[in-house]
Structure 1
C-alpha cells in the first residue's frame, strides 16, 4: 500500500511539472462593463470572466471555455510588483477584437491576481 501511495504522489508531481511546462505566456488587461457580451448577451454566468483577444478567439465556440490565469510580472515601472501570487479560473464570455493583451479580464478576476493600478500585466495561462 505504501508503494502505491509513493507511485501516486510521483505521478501527481510529474503531471504538475508537465502542466507548468506547457503554460502559455501573454498579457492581461481588465474591464468593468460586461453587458451585453458576445456569448451570453445580458446573462453573464459568473463574476470571474474574460474577453478573448484574437489570439484565443475561435468564434462562438470559444464561449464558455475556462482558463487558469496567474500574474507573472509588471509591464510598467509604475507598479513594479503587481502580482498577488494567486491563480484564478476565468470563463470566456466575450470577444475583444482590439485587446492589447491575450485576455481582457473582468475586474474581479484581475483584482484577484494583481493590483488594479497596474492596468496591464504579464501572465501565464492554461486552458482548464
Structure 2
C-alpha cells in the first residue's frame, strides 16, 4: 500500500512539473473595448477573453483557442502585482503592436494581477 501511495505522489509531482514546463512565458496587457473583434465581429464572447499579438496571430488561426494564463511577476516598478490565481481566456481578437504577448480583457487581467501594473509577466498554455 505504501509503495502504491509513493508511486501516486511521484506521478503527481512529475505531472505538475511537466505542466509547468509546457507553459510558455510572455507578457500581458489589457484592453476594455471587446466588440467588434477580429475573430467574431459583433458577437459578444463574454469578458474572459483575449487578443493575440502578431507572433501568435497566424492569420487568425488562433481564433477560438483557449489558454490558461498565470501572472508570474512585474515588468515595471509596481511591486507584487500577481494575485496568485490563473484565468482561462478565449482568443477573440488580434492586437497588432499591443506591447504584450496577450492582450487580456480588463476582467481577465484583474483576476490574475492588479490592473495598476498595466503590463505583467505571464505563463500561458493551451
TM-score, structure 2 as length reference: 0.90
Residue 105 of structure 1 corresponds to which residue in structure 2? 104
Cα distance between partner residues in 2 of 1:93 and 1:4: 44
Cα distance between partner residues in 2 of 1:58 and 1:5: 45
Q: How does 1:10-89 map to 2 (within 5 A)?
A: 10-77=10-77, 79-89=78-88
Is the contact between residue 28 and residue 105 of structure 1 (CA under 8 Å) also seen in structure 2? yes
Tell me the C-alpha RMSD between the 2 structures: 1.6
Cα distance between partner residues in 1 of 2:3 and 2:103: 46
Which ranges in structure 2 are unaligned for 5 or more consecutive residues? none
Which ranges in structure 1 are unaligned for 5 or more consecutive residues? none
- Kindly state the Cα deviation for residue 7 of structure 1 after the two structures are TM-superposed: 3.9
- Kindly state the Cα deviation for residue 23 of structure 1 after the two structures are TM-superposed: 1.6
Greater CA drift, 81-90 or 39-48: 39-48
Residue 119 of structure 1 corresponds to which residue in structure 2? 118
Greater CA drift, 37-46 or 63-72: 37-46
TM-score, structure 1 as length reference: 0.89
Structure with more helix by fraction:
2
- Kindly state the Cα deviation for residue 31 of structure 1 after the two structures are TM-superposed: 0.2
Q: How many residues align?
A: 126
Cα distance between partner residues in 2 of 1:5 and 1:41: 51
